[in-house]
Every structure is written in C-alpha cells, then in structure tokens.
Structure 1
Amino acid sequence: MSDPITALVVDDEELSRAIVAGYLSRMGYRTLGVGTAEEAWRLLADLREVVHVVLLDRQLPGMGGMDLFARMKADPDLSAIPVIMQTISDRSAEIAEAIQAGVFYYLVKPYSGELLQSVAAAAVDQLTRLKRLQGDVRSRTDAMALMREGTFRFRTPQEAHNLAIAVASIVPNARGLAFGLVELLLNAVEHGNLGIGYAAKGELKLGNMLAREIEERLARAEHADKTATLRVERNERKAVFTVSDEGQGFDWSRYLAMDAFQSTATHGRGIALARMVGFHELSYVGCGNTVVATVDLARLP
C-alpha cells in the first residue's frame, strides 16, 4: 500500500480508544478515533481508500456496531475493509453472528495488546493481498475469458497465486474470485500436499517461519512428485472450479462457517472467506482433498 496504514477505532469510551491507538501506534499505524457509528460512517464516506482496518465496538450509542458493519458491507468501496469487532460480551451466539456476517475477527474485552497487534496485522495483510490480486486480475488480457474448460497442475505457492490470478479473469465481473481461488489453491499446497496442519501453521506463522517451512517441505523427496490440480468448467450459467490435492484430507466441516471456534485464532478462516467473497457455492468431496467451488453467472452484476 502506498498510503500509510490507517486504523479507524470506533468506541464510545475515550480510554479504550486511547489504549487501542497506543498499541497500534507502536506498529507504525496512524489511528483515527470516534465515539459513535454515525461519526465513523461520515469518516468512511469521506476517506474510503484511506482506512485500511476498522476496530469497531459492538455496543455503541445510537447506531450499533453491527449496523455500521452492514452499511460497510453494502458499499462496494468499503466492503473489503476488514473489521475487527470488540465487545465485553462473550456470548457464543453474538460471536457467531458477527463472524458469519463477515467480521474479520472478534475480540472480547479485556484482551492483550499482543493479540490486538497480531490480529490487526493479519487484517491489513488480507486487505493488501486482496487489493493486489484485484489489480493483477485487471492487468491481464481478455484471452482467458474465452476458456470453456481446462485442467492445470501446480506445486508451489507462487504457482498457486499465478494460476488463481490468471483463471479468475474468465469471470471478469466476479468480485473476490481471485482471492477465493488463492485460498483454495494455497490450501491444496500447504495443507494437502505438504501436510502442514492447522496447529503447526499457527506456530509457524507466529514465528514468521511458514515460508521457510514450505520451501523445506517442497524440497523433500517425499513431496517432490506431488502436484495439485485445478479443473475449470464454464458454460452460460456457471463457472465451476474443482481443486484436488494428494493429501489425506481433513475435517472440512468445521472450516466452512466462520463460527465461534474460528474467532479464537488468527488463521483458519481462509475456506470460509473463500466461500463468502469468492463463490456462491462451495463443497468438499469425500475425505476433503477435493473441493468444488461454483460461481453463478446470473447473480453477478
């Protein structure tokens, strides 16, 4: 991002705003603080591209936090900004409602400054990747739009990124398709073929060692011949993307919805995000090493 990273903190307690701003300022973030959702909406409407992440209190005077979030999701220029919801309530139903609506993360007060910083960094990273992918897709030629069916094999994270960007251009009006495809293709490489589990990925990310671990596993003899496959089929009604890997599969059901379980970690929501922003339907086959994602062309703008 060319602009400085700017966080909008929406909380009716001035002390809470100051504490959050203090933690974020140590990361080099610029913070804007307001006490109501109405003030936040005016700032967002004026600044739009300047705000990179919103830390939003659920309980606010006047318009509530969830109401403001709904407004943001309905605005094409604001819908991609990640929102971190915070509240004093730890009721599972409220957490699940917010996560399922698309909130990036849900923090229950009091929380540690380290957790806040980790979540904020992850949210900004997601926005950066989404913007970069959208820009890359726009820069491609229209040649891929002629595709009706095709099969691709890939092995590395870089190949997964390149393939997702290229293939996403067959449906030029599908917002978030490239992001959704990247998540599915990366899962096929990291979790499927290389066997990096959920807990292991969390530890590797925490130590900033994930990229090195992927490189080391790719170089091992046991993984040398493993590839993942993307099958693309498109007709007048829909585009279907089938991703398969050579892994042992996994318990995919817990990752399809961003429920309360997913709200307790800074990773693991890629599948649910892919389903939410990239596809109209997403389902797993058998043990979970094949996923079928569908875009309904009639529902696109």
Structure 2
Amino acid sequence: MHLILVDSSPAQRAFIASALADRAARLSTLGCADAAAGLVTTSAGNNGQGSADGITVLLVNCAQEEASGLALLRRIRANAQFATMPAILLTPAVSDGALEYLIPAALELGARYALPDDGDAEALRFVIDALRDDAARNATRADETAGGRRQLRAASFAVRSLDDAKCLAPVLAAATSRHSAAVLGISELLINSIEHGNLGISYARKKELMLQGRWREEIERRSALPENGHKRVRIRLRRTADGAYIQISDEGPGFDWRQYLEFDTRRANDPNGRGIAVARMTSFDSLDYLGGGNVVVARIKAPICSKDTKS
C-alpha cells in the first residue's frame, strides 16, 4: 500500500507517519495540495482495483481555510483514472455547522472515511486496515468479466455468505456501464443484506464487533445457526436501454433506511454507518428502498450513445 498524506502541520504529519509506519509499504508526506496532486498522477498504481498491497490511499487534512482538502479531492476526481482511489478525510476542530458541510461534501467526492484530526492513532490504523480489507474483497479480474457478462439482459442470483457476495459483486458490476465504481456499492448492499437483514446484526453490535476485530467471526457464527441456514439474499439484474437495475432482497424485517442515505456527523467517529451514503453518492445514479427496507433497487444509467444498449 502506498499512503499519500497531505497535511500542512509538520507535527501532525510526523504523528500520522509514526502511527501508520507498519501499515504502508510506502508513505509519502506532503504539506500542500499541489504537490499531492502531482504525486497522485504519477504513482497512483492500480487505484484499488488490483491487490490490496498495490492500492494507493490518499489521507488529506481538510483545512477550514480555503477547504484545501476538498479542492484536492475535487481536482483528483476530475480525472476518471483516479475516480475510485480510496480517500480518508481528516477534519479539523471546527463547529458542527462546518462539519455538516465538510463531511457530506467529502463523501460526495468519494472519500471513504471522515475522521477528526484529534490524534487517535487507533482510529487511523483501523480505517487503513478496513480499506486494505475492502481492496482484497473487491479485487476483480475485470478483463475476464466485462466482455461476456456485460451482455446479460436479465439474471437472478442468491447468496448466503460474505464469500458469495465477494464473488457476485464483480459479476453484477460488469453488467453496468462503470464497473470499478459499481463494485464497491454493490458489495456494500450485499453485505448489508447478509449481516443486518438475514443475520440480524444491529448497527450498535456491528460497531462493537468491528472495534474488537470480531466482525467476520460473528458473521460466521450466526451463519452456522440452524435458524439461519436456509436464509438467502436474492438478487435480480435487469438491463434496459436506459441502464442497469439491480434489486437486492433479504429475509430480514427491514430497517429505517432513511437515516443512512445521508451522512450524519453524529456517526463520524464510528467504524460503520457510512456505506449506504457513500454507495448512493459514488456508485449509483439512484438508490431506492422499498417497503420496510429489506428490498433495495440500485440503478446505473447507460452511457450516452452506447452500442450495447441498441441491440
């Protein structure tokens, strides 16, 4: 992993470099956004689309003055090659009103996490580990899947485990017009349906499990229970002239999905709770929950003048 850290404070750069020294094979520390933008364009590698060890992660302090961190993210996202690069936002000590602007704006630009700039080394290490795990889970062989599977017009699937979800997400994403962005959002929706829907793990319980490093262990334990053995998450893919529609249904009672469509600053320090908001803003053109919340439909528009949509 190559970690690019952008922070105007030499002391903060030294602290973060020390905290993450054992997490990154390469660590670049920079004091200004212009230098970071140049480094990203020359050393971004595979931007998280290959192995976990090969990803480049951008860690940027969003200074209140001039919102330089947001400007850097916006500049990088303008280049399609870096559209899916994982980014972490460090927020300065500002008012709640400022955070209500900074954090949603960063998420809309594709930041995966927003953390307070308060010297919490454990939180930093946790999110870096989470990004590494995400990269490993979402590593795909895009060249092998994009050809034949993009011709799918309609298909149905069922998954039970996290490994099932890991295998299916790139297949579904390959049937859309933007594979790299879609696979992250699809993975998030599938995992949510498994853990929260079919296995009944609450938000608070997941937070506790993640902080303890026992989340996957609990998933496997609950999956092995007799009452959960028959449960499946069911997926329907439908492609039309205007795009791809992916419907995901679980066997749970549903949940209050409305509070998760937008990022809530009250959850800013939690290790979970931002996936739906990030998926809605970065992976899909629309995301609609039906009924009680145990059915969700994601839509990705077809590209303009796509030959594939004319057949």
What TM-score do the two structures reach when normalised by structure 2? 0.86
- Per-residue CA distance 1:274-299 (angstroms, 9 max, x = gap): 22332110010111000011111035
* Counterpart check, 1:275 vs 2:283: no
1:206 CA displacement: 2.0
Q: Which residue of 1 aligns with 2:113?
A: 105
Q: Which residue of 1 aligns with 2:168?
A: 163
Task: Please say if residues 89 and 108 of structure 1, whose CA atoms lie closer than 8 Å, have aligned partners that are also in contact.
Answer: no
- Per-residue CA distance 1:65-108 (angstroms, 9 max, x = gap): 21111011111222222222222324332333333433222232
2-side partners of 1:88 and 1:299: how far apart? 43
**Aligned residue identity for 2:4:** L
SS of the counterpart of 1:165?
helix
Q: Match for 2:82 among 78, 85, 95?
A: 78
Task: Please say if residues 100 and 257 of structure 1, whose CA atoms lie closer than 8 Å, have aligned partners that are also in contact.
Answer: no
**Aligned residue identity for 1:74:** A
1-side partners of 2:108 and 2:303: how far apart? 24
Q: Which residue of 1 aligns with 2:38?
A: 42
What TM-score do the two structures reach when normalised by structure 1? 0.88
The alignment of Structure 1 onto Structure 2 pairs a total of residues equal to 294
Q: Which residue of 2 aligns with 1:89?
A: 94
1:128 CA displacement: 4.4
- Cα–Cα, structure 1 residues 179 and 62, in superposed 2: closer, same or farther, change >3 Å? closer
Q: Match for 1:243 among 207, 226, 248?
A: 248
Q: Which residue of 1 aligns with 2:62?
A: 58
For 1:171-210, list aligned pairs within 5 A.
171=176, 173-210=178-215
Question: Which runs of 5 or more residues in structure 1 are unaligned?
Answer: none
* Counterpart check, 1:216 vs 2:224: no
Task: Please say if residues 53 and 124 of structure 1, whose CA atoms lie closer than 8 Å, have aligned partners that are also in contact.
Answer: no
Q: Which residue of 1 aligns with 2:51?
A: none
Q: Which residue of 1 aligns with 2:49?
A: none
- Cα–Cα, structure 1 residues 51 and 192, in superposed 2: closer, same or farther, change >3 Å? closer
1-side partners of 2:67 and 2:187: how far apart? 35
1:300 CA displacement: 9.0
Q: Which residue of 2 aligns with 1:263?
A: 268
Task: Please say if residues 12 and 36 of structure 1, whose CA atoms lie closer than 8 Å, have aligned partners that are also in contact.
Answer: yes
For 1:109-124, list aligned pairs within 5 A.
109-124=117-132
Identity %: 32
2-side partners of 1:106 and 1:253: how far apart? 20
* Counterpart check, 1:143 vs 2:143: no
- What is the RMSD of the two structures over their aligned residues, measured on CA atoms? 2.4
Task: Please say if residues 288 and 296 of structure 2, whose CA atoms lie closer than 8 Å, have aligned partners that are also in contact.
Answer: yes
- Cα–Cα, structure 1 residues 56 and 189, in superposed 2: closer, same or farther, change >3 Å? same
**Aligned residue identity for 2:125:** Q
- Per-residue CA distance 1:18-72 (angstroms, 9 max, x = gap): 1111111143553211111111112112212277222212228888221111011
